Amino acid sequence: MKEPRELNLPDTVRYTRDHEWAAMPGDTARIGVSDYAQDQLGDIVYVEMPEVGSAFARGDTFGTLESVKAVSELYMPMGGEVVAVNEALVDAPELINRDSYDNWIIEIRPSNPAEYEKLMTSEGYLEMLKE
Cβ-based neighbour number of residue 118 at 10 Å: 12
pLDDT of 77 > 90? The answer is yes
Position 131 scores a pLDDT of 87
Domains and CATH numbers, the chain: 12-126 (2.40.50.100)
Q: Is the dihedral of CA 28, 94, 102, 126 positive or negative?
A: positive
Q: How confident is the model at residue 1 (pLDDT cuts 50, 70, 90)?
A: confident
> Is 0.85 topped by the overall pTM?
yes
Concatenated DSSP letters of 88-127: HHHH-TTHHHH-TTTS--EEEEES-GGGGGGSBPHHHHHH
Q: What is the pLDDT of residues 99-110, one digit of tens each?
A: 999 999 999 999
